[in-house]
Amino acid sequence: MNVVQKTIAVTGAGNGIGRALTLHLLNKGARVACIDKDEEGLQKTEMEAGSLAVRLSCHAVDITNRETLPGLVNQILHQHGCIDGLINNAGVIQPFTTVKNIEMKDIERVMNINFYGTVNMIKAFLPHLLPRNEAHIVNVCSMGGFVPVPGQVFYGASKAAVKLMTEGLHSELKNTGIGVSVAFPGAVATEITLHSGVPPPDIPISKKKNYTAISPQKAAEAIVKGIEDNAYHIFIGSDSKWMNMLYRFNPELAANMIQRKMRDLLKL
């Protein structure tokens, strides 16, 4: 789907990849409905859009509250006239801790935002996407959605649920005008730990040089290209692409490699 003059809703648009997606879509000629519960973050996104903000609307909404979403849809339709795309980008990580030590409230928060928030948005927006001649849904997953990461087990489980749900949705919508993609970012230089309310991991200085991340802008470009190419999977970053190949070839080897990287952090 060509994004020019299309109206695309983006969740998590108040920071990180969501903000980069908003700005990239605007630069390509799309109209964007920014969605985030962080009103201050939305205002910053709008400010960075500059003169392009005439094609932008901002909506301070909590995607875990499904009762507010029909009103959100109506607001977007009123301001833009139609909805052609949905990028479910909003997400949080869990505290960096083990299954034994994590609290149930932290598990429920991750599942409510990452999985149920995505489901809520799809259920609210799909009836309005189906009548369009062409439309697209992208659900942003994670490399952690297909390879296990100790210390982020429930974050990974929430993203694995998003992965399989998205692939099933793709199959269900195969004979419609709606394209469906799932994106797998590797390491991206965002402030997800800050916005998740999670203290950053205590990575030894000697190992920090081994941690590389791509910019949110590069991630946004890859996701929008995936929309335009009607891609089934969108792997973002060389780490995601490489780990996908390794995991397909030898899942246990891939899991052991990640475990070795995390064992000092978690004292496994």
The set of catalytic residues is 155
> Would you call 206 exposed, middle or buried from its count of C-beta atoms within 10 A (0-12, 13-18, 19+)?
exposed
| Strands 178-185, 135-140: pairing kind | parallel
Distance CA 259, CA 249 (A): 17
d(C-alpha 175, C-alpha 46), whole Å: 36
Query: What is the distance between the alpha carbons of residues 132 and 52, in angstroms, rounded to a whole number?
Result: 25
211 φ, ψ (degrees, to nearest 5)? -100, 110
How far is the C-alpha of 261 from the C-alpha of 157, rounded, in Å?
19
The tally of CA atoms less than 13 A away on the side-chain side of residue 193 is 11
Contact between residue 65 and residue 117 where contact means Cβ atoms under 8 Å apart? no
Question: Any alpha helices (H) in the chain, and if so which ranges?
Answer: 16-27, 39-49, 69-80, 104-110, 117-129, 153-172, 192-195, 205-208, 216-229, 238-249, 251-266
Q: Are 149 and 243 in contact (CB under 8 A)?
A: no
